[in-house]
Amino acid sequence: MSSTAEKTMKTDSMFINLGPQHPSTHGVLRVGLTIEGELITKAVPDIGYLHRGTSKLAEVRGYHHCVVLTDRWDYVAAMPNNLVFCLAAEKLMEVQAPPRAEALRVLMCELNRVASHLLFFGTYGIDIGAFTPFLYAFREREMILDLFEMACGARLTYNYIRLGGVMADVPPEWLAKCREFVDYFKPRIDEYDTLLTYNPIFMARTKEVGLIPAADAVSWSLSGANLRGSGVCYDVRKSDPYCGYERYSFDVPLGQTGSCWDRYFCRVQEMRQSIRIIEQVLGGLPEGPTMAAGVAKIPKPKPGEAYAHVEGARGDLGIFLVSDGQASPYRMHVRAPSFLNLAILQELLVGNKVSDVIAILGSIDIVLGEVDR
């Protein structure tokens, strides 16, 4: 009886192309969804639409030129990209950036983390259906981009952090502007909480959706807020400090269940922590040069290999550099957090509703420039 009912009630599944031109795929991701009604039975993320082969390009470019390439991976937060390449190359070249440059690097990376999380906050609002938080977030993001424009002249692809230091010291009025922004921004985060974080509709949409248990998060090698949302405390800034992060006091926000809301909340909390770090850096910015002496125009580091990783806005961003003594790297491998975070999508989406696909995809917070590189 039941088997015949199943047979007669059996409905066709439907294949839906989510992307690459779908408004909520955050770039050119394509997800092939097989749905029964509104339930997902299979999800296949399809990447590669934005592949530019930067790892290969790096093999024919000088080390200074490679910094320009790094800007193009995670174009939403390009400062950590610059930083991680410079850290790896500096290990090869045995150069140490001066203290002021290190402090500026931290400052810029944290500002960029805030900018990137603001973009996440805004677009996640749009994914869930609220348009207004997006423009509020961009209003604040615009100020950070203004600060970047003031310091290095670009708003998106900075090329600010260079081998051995930073491009140039910040202009004299920059620090005051940055403090102005910090003072302005702190109450705004509470407004974001009002507008989205604790909104009952938003919580209903994101809590208990897209659960990633801690064990799964580790075995899929997630990183960044996606990992911390599941309650696993791993932050490169704490576990493997670079650029003097050990000097600044900040907390690593953790989620509890690994739901979309937890991942979202981790990022909002990270914005607060970043602001804390920025305040500390602004309070004790050391004087001195911003560029180490002895960085060659065309560096030819000794043969060897180096691995450096930083806590980028999307997670553990690492670079493995091999030098053969020539002017360009022999091999550059990028551990792109977005790429690894995206992999869990195929498992995470199954059994959810079509609306949840957008919520989950948004909460993973990928940047396709970094996924495809």
Partner 1 sequence: MSEEPKPDAKAPAAKAAPAKKTFPPAKFNEKAGRLLKTTRYWPTELWANPWNKPSYRRGALLLGGIILGLLATGAAVGELAVWGDRLYAWLLAFISARGGSPVLAQGIWAVFKGLLVLHVILLNGLWAVWWERKISAHIQSRVGPVYAGGFHGWAQTICDGIKLLLKEDITPAASDAWVHALAPAIVVVPVVAAFAPVSFGRQLAAANLDVGVLYVFAMAGISVIGIVMAGWASGNKYSLLGGLRACAQLVSYELPRGFSIVPVLMFAGSLNISAIAAAQAGYKWGFLPRWFIFYPVVGQLAFLIFLIASIAETNRTPFDIPEAESELVSGFHTEYSGMKWSIFFLSEYGYVLLASFLLAAFFLGGGASPFAFDHLIPSWIWMLGKAMLMMFLFLWARWTFPRLRADQLMDFNWKFLLPWSFANIALAGVWLLLS
Partner 2 sequence: MIDYFAKVLRAAWNTCKGLGLTLKYLFKPAITVHYPDEKLVPYERFRGALLFDAVTCISCNLCVKACPSTCIDLENATIPDPKNPQARKKVARVEWYSIDFGKCNFCRLCEESCPTKPKSVWHSLDYELVFFSRDEMVRCWKAGMSWVGQYWDRRAKQFKDPPGQVRIMEVDARR
Instruction: Select from 56, 139, 190, 347 the one that contacts partner 1 (CB under 8 A).
Output: 139
CB under 5 to 8 A by kind: which of partner 2, partner 1, none does 194 bind? partner 2
Dihedral of alpha carbons 149, 153, 156, 159, sign: negative
- Residue 73 or 136: the one with the smaller Cβ distance to partner 1 is 136
Cα(278)–Cα(107) distance, integer angstroms: 6
Q: How far apart (Å, rounded) are the C-alpha atoms in residues 198 and 192? A: 9
Beta-carbon contacts of 143 under 8 Å, excluding residues fewer than 6 positions away, are 181, 184, 185
357 contact choice in partner 1, partner 2, none (CB below 5 to 8 Å, kind-dependent): partner 1
Cα 178 to Cα 15, 82, 243, distances in angstroms: 49, 21, 20
Q: Which is nearer to partner 2, 100 or 228 (CB)?
A: 100
28 binds partner 1 (CB under 8 A): no
Distances (CA, A) of 118 to 24, 140, 188, 315: 16, 8, 11, 16
Binding test (CB under 8 A) with partner 2, winner from 23, 56, 180, 198? 198
CB 156 within 8 A of CB 93: no
Which of partner 1, partner 2, none does 159 bind, CB closer than 5 to 8 A by kind?
A: partner 2
CB of 291 to partner 1, least distance (A): 17
Residue 305 near residue 284, CB atoms below 8 Å: no
- Min dist CB 328 to partner 1, Å, is 33
Going by their DSSP bridges, the two strands 331-335 and 315-323 should be labelled as antiparallel
Q: Note whether 146 binds partner 1 by CB under 8 A.
A: yes
- Greatest CA span in the chain, whole angstroms? 83
Residue 195 lies near partner 1 (rule: CB under 8 A): yes
Does residue 86 touch partner 2 according to CB under 8 A?
no
Residue 153 or residue 303: which is nearer to partner 2 going by CB? Answer: 153
68 counts as binding partner 2 under rule CB under 8 A = yes
For residues 124 to 163, the per-residue mask of contacts with partner 2, x marking binding by CB under 8 A and - elsewhere, is --------x---x--x------x--xxxxxx--x-x----
Pick between residue 61 and residue 272 the one whose CB is nearest to partner 2. Answer: 61
CB distance 286 to 103 below 8 Å: yes
Does 191 contact partner 2 by CB under 8 A?
yes
Say how many C-beta atoms besides its own lie within 10 A of residue 240's C-beta. Answer: 14
Give the interface size with partner 1 as a residue count (CB under 8 A). 36
Binding region for partner 1 (CB under 8 A) out of 194-202, 210-218, 263-271, 319-327: 194-202
Q: Is residue 186 a contact point for partner 1 (CB under 8 A)?
A: no
Question: In the set 71, 102, 127, 235, which binds partner 1 (CB under 8 A)?
Answer: 127
Count CB-CB contacts under 10 A for residue 267: 26
249 binds, among partner 1, partner 2, none (CB under 5 to 8 A by kind): none
**Residue 195 C-beta: closest distance to partner 2, Å:** 5
E strands, the chain, are: 14-18, 30-36, 39-46, 161-162, 165-166, 304-312, 315-323, 331-335
